[in-house]
């Protein structure tokens, strides 16, 4: 597709189209592209060129919606491409679709507060959407509680039942169980699906930052190796380090945790089903 095609032309809407009309056009075109990709995937010999084209088209559509659904980004885009259509006033952003992240097919990558644009979007694969901080915090809380519950359900019956309440055997049981929980709850689900229970509940997922596809096993291991090693070697202090490492996205304007920087991954909104590179 020509780079001269505007987001409006890509979605088939007028430059002064209302947000609801843009959303409807985006949903329709995205559904058509995904249907075509699914049909190709189900053939005996799917064409990689066709699949790549479909993935690229999805990315362009997501990028177009991401920009046109955000009043500030839309205004700036209109100025860039010389579009004179009317768009919502940036000053109204605070009261418009405050909960868009959960309700719309695609959420703006940035929010506007006090009449000023928020942090710039993360430099990741085109069209991927960064979730709101609330989603990520909710996912982290769910995963933390679930992991502790699984750990306790295994450790306490074993240590109490076998009388391993103190000393090296008890320590080995506690640490070994935590590493096991890391493997079966974090590493394997993220490798195969890009999601833990918390991320499935909040409709977020972990993907390769540059491709938007499922992360490799190496990336997943790098993402979790530091907190896993900290828990095994530092115990109580390791637990604190693991929490800091996992929630470090709260300290960064681009919402990328230290784990994601180390693994070259990103947590994005689960608007599509990621695939593994061929």
- pLDDT tens digits, 214-263: 999 999 999 999 888 887 777 667 778 888 888 888 887 667 888 898 89
Q: What is the CATH number of the domain that holds 44?
A: 1.10.287.110
Asked, for residue 123, whether it belongs to a domain, the answer is no
Q: Which domain holds residue 91?
A: 7-117
Asked, for residue 128, whether it belongs to a domain, the answer is no
Residue-level pLDDT at 88: 45
What confidence category does residue 112 fall into, taking pLDDT thresholds of 50, 70 and 90?
very low
Asked, for residue 126, whether it belongs to a domain, the answer is no
Which of 132-136, 144-148, 244-248 has the lowest average pLDDT? 244-248
Same domain (yes/no): 160, 191? yes
What's CA 132's distance to the chain center, in Å?
10
Distance CA 234, CA 5 (A): 55
What confidence category does residue 124 fall into, taking pLDDT thresholds of 50, 70 and 90?
low
Which of 62-71, 165-174, 267-276 has the lowest average pLDDT? 165-174
Asked, for residue 168, whether it belongs to a domain, the answer is yes
Same domain (yes/no): 30, 112? yes
Same domain (yes/no): 29, 77? yes
Residue-level pLDDT at 228: 86
Taking residues 6-26, report their average pLDDT.
90
What confidence category does residue 186 fall into, taking pLDDT thresholds of 50, 70 and 90?
very high
Residue 243, burial from CB neighbour count under 10 angstroms (0-12, 13-18, 19+):
middle
Beta strand segments in the chain, E? 112-113, 116-117, 204-208, 265-269
Which of 113-117, 174-178, 183-187 has the lowest average pLDDT? 113-117
Could you please report the per-residue DSSP string of 73-114? Answer: HHHHHHHHHT-------GGGGGGS-TTHHHHSSS--SS-EET
Distance CA 103, CA 101 (A): 6
Residue-level pLDDT at 155: 85
3-class state of residue 266 by DSSP: strand
Number of domain units in the chain: 2
Same domain (yes/no): 20, 79? yes
Which two three-digit tokens encode residue 25?
A: 């056009």
What's CA 63's distance to the chain center, in Å?
15
Residue-level pLDDT at 53: 87
Higher pLDDT, 51 or 119: 51
DSSP 197: H
**pTM beyond 0.85:** no
3-state secondary structure 147-177: HHHHHHHHHHHHHHHCCCCCCHHHHHHHHHH
Asked, for residue 265, whether it belongs to a domain, the answer is yes
Which two three-digit tokens encode residue 35?
A: 């249907």
Q: Which long-range contacts (CB under 8 A, 24 or more apart) does 225-234 make?
A: 226/258, 226/259, 226/262, 227/182, 227/259, 228/178, 228/179, 228/182, 231/175, 231/178, 231/179, 231/182, 232/175, 232/178, 232/179
What's CA 31's distance to the chain center, in Å?
20
Residue-level pLDDT at 139: 93
Same domain (yes/no): 111, 138? no
Same domain (yes/no): 65, 91? yes
**pLDDT higher than 80, residue 111:** no
Which of 47-56, 92-101, 239-248 has the lowest average pLDDT? 92-101
What confidence category does residue 192 fall into, taking pLDDT thresholds of 50, 70 and 90?
very high
Asked, for residue 104, whether it belongs to a domain, the answer is yes
Which of 13-17, 112-116, 158-162 has the lowest average pLDDT? 112-116
* Residue ending a domain, choose from 86, 117, 148: 117
**pLDDT higher than 80, residue 4:** no
* Residue ending a domain, choose from 117, 142, 174: 117
Distance CA 124, CA 181 (A): 30
Residue burial 198-224, b: 16+ Cβ < 10 Å; e: rest: bbbebebbbbbbebbbbbbeebbebbb
Taking residues 2-28, report their average pLDDT.
86
Same domain (yes/no): 177, 104? no
pLDDT more than 70, % of the chain: 79
């Amino acid at each position: 597709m020509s780079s001269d095609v505007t987001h409006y032309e890509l979605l088939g809407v007028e430059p002064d189209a209302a947000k609801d009309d843009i959303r409807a056009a985006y949903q329709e075109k995205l559904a058509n592209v995904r249907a075509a990709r699914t049909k190709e995937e189900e053939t005996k010999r799917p064409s990689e060129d066709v699949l790549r084209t479909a993935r690229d088209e999805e990315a362009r559509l997501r990028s177009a919606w991401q920009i046109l659904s955000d009043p500030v980004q839309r205004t700036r885009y209109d100025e860039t491409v010389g579009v004179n259509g009317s768009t919502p006033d940036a000053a109204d952003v605070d009261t418009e679709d405050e909960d868009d992240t959960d309700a719309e097919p695609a959420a703006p990558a940035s929010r506007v507060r006090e009449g000023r644009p928020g942090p710039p979007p993360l430099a990741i694969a085109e069209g991927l959407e960064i979730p709101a901080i609330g989603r990520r915090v909710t996912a982290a809380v769910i995963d933390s509680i679930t992991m502790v519950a699984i750990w306790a359900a295994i450790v306490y019956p074993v240590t109490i039942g076998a009388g391993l309440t103190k000393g090296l055997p008890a320590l080995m049981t506690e640490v070994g169980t935590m590493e096991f929980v890391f493997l079966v709850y974090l590493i394997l689900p993220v490798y195969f699906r890009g999601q833990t229970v918390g991320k499935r509940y909040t409709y977020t997922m972990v993907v390769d930052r540059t491709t938007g596809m499922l992360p490799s096993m190496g990336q997943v291991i790098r993402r979790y190796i530091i907190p896993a090693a900290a828990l095994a070697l530092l115990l109580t202090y390791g637990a604190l380090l693991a929490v800091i490492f996992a929630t470090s996205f709260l300290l960064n304007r681009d919402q990328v945790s230290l784990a994601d920087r180390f693994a070259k991954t990103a947590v994005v909104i689960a608007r599509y089903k990621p695939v593994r590179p061929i």
